[in-house]
């Protein structure tokens, strides 16, 4: 008997899962995605700045046996095991991999949605590039001091653009102080003006309005195009389909990535909240979660118990233009260590990491099941720490037992 697995979303998690599922000859895999190519989302700041096109053909990264349907899922009917797509088409499934990723969040800031330019999706970055190309001399205000904001600010400044960075909180909040100093030095060398401690409270057509900490004053407008890089939010599809999600909208799962509402649905990547304790939204997590999601489905088909999630982190690599980067090393539980790498070695590491993401998808497409899944028991420690710090977080039914 054949099994049909439907994968929603062809990002890092979805493509990895789809490829791995082709391990079994009796599994048919259909992948639904709005575009007929793979988007290297971690290079979207490069797409915006014109230093990379950030796409790969599916022929390079996807197993030939995976059937691609270009479209967007609009609703999941859990009881009927069917997914509705734009244009009223419907697809049935035996198992569903929910890997629809995330998009930019406006953080509730008035005017951000209307006047700011996000960089979080392929469409966002393409539009941003068009706007910037139309006005090569216009200054840019980058809102957000996290990795995406830093990468955008540096990439554009290196190409000669006047850039002001409004971090909102401290620059690179994940970093320890030594790595942060390296990042700030590089931004200064590129001529980026960093408005430390400043917050954007509104966006207007002529620029971003700052809160000086006391009185909001229209004189505090930073003129220029406002580029929004102040965080991601998950797709709303799970919630609007009546599936249980965390507060942000990620699909709530147990530690095997199985939805709390249906053992026929597994989630991976930015869209998943295992035990209500999601991993950092990152490509670093999306690839192994995609593998885990596929392994869970394959285990169920084989009639064996799926393994629990155990995904160690390594750090955070941030590019600062084409000639700069910082690698902040971290514990397997995703806590920054003192050690970091800068200079030419960091530039090399960052580019190698970007290439390796596409390389690992291509390898899994050619030889499904060949990608090694790292494991370090790090996840159990993260759950234990989260439970201790926030007693309100209740591990989901079926979640891995947490040893205090
Ligand atoms: C500029 C930038 C730089 C980044 N740099 C890094 C980095 O250096 N390191 C790192 O670890 N992370 C980085 N990230 C974050 C990283 O890109 C994401 O965390 C990662 O892409 C998540 O992978 P995913 O597979 O869950 O989702 P995505 O890669 O977002 O893929 C989701 C896919 O699902 C599709 N989709 C959405 N809705 C539907 C629907 N309803 N039906 C069908 N398909 C749908 C989307 O179009 C997309 O193709 C960066 C992000 C940005 C924007």
Residue with tokens 């439907």: 6
Q: What is the pLDDT along the chain (404 residues), one digit of tens a residue?
A: 999 999 999 999 999 999 999 999 999 999 999 999 999 999 999 999 999 999 999 999 999 999 999 999 999 999 999 999 998 799 999 999 999 999 999 989 999 999 999 999 999 999 999 999 999 889 999 999 999 999 999 999 999 999 999 998 899 999 999 999 999 999 999 999 999 988 899 999 888 998 865 445 555 778 789 999 999 999 999 999 999 999 999 999 999 999 999 999 999 999 999 999 999 999 999 999 999 999 999 999 999 999 999 989 999 999 999 999 999 999 999 999 999 999 999 999 999 999 999 999 999 999 999 998 888 887 888 888 777 876 544 433 333 222 22
Please work out whether the CB of residue 119 comes within 6 Å of at least one atom of ligand 1: yes
Q: Are 242 and 191 contained in the same domain? A: no
In a domain, 65, yes or no: yes
b/e burial code for range 74-113 (CB count within 10 A of at least 16 → b): eebeeeebebbbeeeeebebbbbbbbbbbbbbbeebebbe
CA 330 / ligand 1 centre spacing (Å): 22
Q: Are 166 and 224 contained in the same domain? A: yes
Q: Are 7 and 155 contained in the same domain? A: no
d(CA 149, CA 42): 12
Q: Are 149 and 92 contained in the same domain? A: no
* Structural domain range at position 76: 3-104+232-308+378-389
Q: Are 198 and 182 contained in the same domain? A: yes
Q: Are 139 and 200 contained in the same domain? A: yes
Q: Are 47 and 148 contained in the same domain? A: no
CB 63 within 8 A of CB 22: yes
CA 371 / ligand 1 centre spacing (Å): 20
Q: Are 74 and 167 contained in the same domain? A: no
CA 37 / ligand 1 centre spacing (Å): 13
- Residue 339, Cα to own-chain centre: how many angstroms? 24
Give the sign of the dihedral formed by CA 36, CA 38, CA 42, CA 45: negative
Which of 65, 64, 82 minimizes the C-alpha distance to 74?
A: 82
Residue with tokens 């929004």: 228
In a domain, 339, yes or no: no
- Percent of the chain that is helix, strand, coil (3-state, to 5): 30, 25, 40
For residue 201, give the CATH number of its domain. Answer: 3.50.50.60
Please work out whether the CB of residue 286 comes within 6 Å of at least one atom of ligand 1: yes
């Amino acid at each position: 008997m054949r099994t049909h697995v439907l994968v929603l979303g062809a990002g890092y998690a979805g493509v990895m899962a789809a490829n791995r599922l082709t391990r079994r000859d009796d599994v048919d895999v259909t992948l639904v995605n709005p575009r007929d190519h793979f988007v290297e989302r971690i290079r979207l700041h490069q797409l915006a700045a014109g230093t990379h096109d950030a796409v790969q053909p599916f022929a390079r990264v996807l197993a030939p046996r995976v059937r691609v349907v270009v479209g967007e899922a609009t609703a999941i009917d859990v009881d009927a095991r069917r997914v509705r797509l734009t244009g009223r088409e419907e697809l049935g499934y035996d198992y569903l991999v929910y890997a629809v990723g995330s998009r930019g969040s406006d953080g509730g800031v008035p005017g951000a949605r209307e006047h700011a330019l996000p960089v979080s999706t392929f469409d966002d970055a393409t539009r941003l590039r068009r706007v910037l190309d139309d006005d090569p001399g216009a200054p840019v205000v980058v809102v957000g001091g996290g990795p995406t904001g830093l990468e955008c600010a540096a990439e554009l400044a290196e190409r000669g653009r006047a850039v002001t960075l409004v971090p909102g909180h401290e620059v690179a909040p994940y970093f320890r102080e030594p790595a942060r100093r390296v990042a700030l030095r590089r931004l200064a060398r590129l001529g980026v003006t960093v408005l430390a401690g400043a917050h954007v409270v509104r966006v207007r057509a002529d620029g971003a309005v700052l809160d000086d900490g006391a009185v909001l004053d229209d004189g505090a407008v930073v003129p220029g195009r406002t580029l929004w890089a102040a965080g991601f939010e998950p797709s709303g599809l799970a919630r609007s389909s009546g599936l249980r999600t965390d507060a942000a909208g990620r699909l709530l799962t147990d530690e095997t990535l199985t939805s709390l509402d249906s053992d026929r649905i597994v989630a991976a990547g930015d869209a998943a909240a295992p035990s209500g304790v999601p991993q950092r939204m990152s490509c670093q997590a999306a690839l192994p979660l995609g593998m885990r999601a596929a392994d869970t489905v394959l285990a169920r088909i084989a009639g064996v118990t799926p393994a629990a999630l155990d995904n160690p982190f390594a750090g955070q690599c941030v590019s600062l233009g084409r000639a700069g980067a910082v690698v902040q090393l971290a514990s397997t539980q995703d806590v920054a260590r003192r050690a970091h790498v800068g200079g030419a070695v960091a530039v090399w590491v960052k580019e190698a990491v970007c290439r390796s993401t596409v390389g690992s998808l291509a390898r899994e497409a050619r030889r499904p099941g060949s990608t090694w899944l790292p494991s370090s028991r790090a996840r159990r420690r993260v759950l234990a720490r989260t439970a201790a710090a926030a007693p309100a977080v209740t591990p989901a039914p079926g979640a891995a037992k947490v040893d205090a």
